[in-house]
Amino acid sequence: MQIERSFKVSCPHFGGYVVSLSVNDFDSLEEVVAAVLDQLKATLAASGFEALLSTLDTESSKYHIHDRTIEDVLMGVGGSPYYVCNHGCLSIPTQVVEPSTPSVQSVGVEPSAPANEDSEESDGDECETKSLL
Q: pLDDT higher for 45 or 100?
A: 45
Give the span between the Cα atoms of 105 and 22, in whole angstroms: 47
Range of the structural domain that residue 17 is part of: 4-132
The answer on pLDDT for 28 being more than 60 is yes
Look at residue 88 in the predicted model and tell me its pLDDT: 63
Selection from 86, 106, 81, 108 nearest residue 4 by Cα: 81
Selection from 93, 125, 113, 110 nearest residue 8 by Cα: 125
Give the span between the Cα atoms of 15 and 56, in whole angstroms: 12
This prediction has a pTM of 0.67
Look at residue 80 in the predicted model and tell me its pLDDT: 86
At 89, the pLDDT band (50, 70, 90 cuts) reads low
How many domains are there within the chain? 1
Look at residue 127 in the predicted model and tell me its pLDDT: 53
What does the pLDDT look like over 16-27, one tens digit per residue?
Answer: 999 999 999 999
What does the pLDDT look like over 32-86, one tens digit per residue?
Answer: 999 999 999 999 999 999 999 999 999 999 999 989 999 999 999 998 899 999 9
Look at residue 99 in the predicted model and tell me its pLDDT: 44
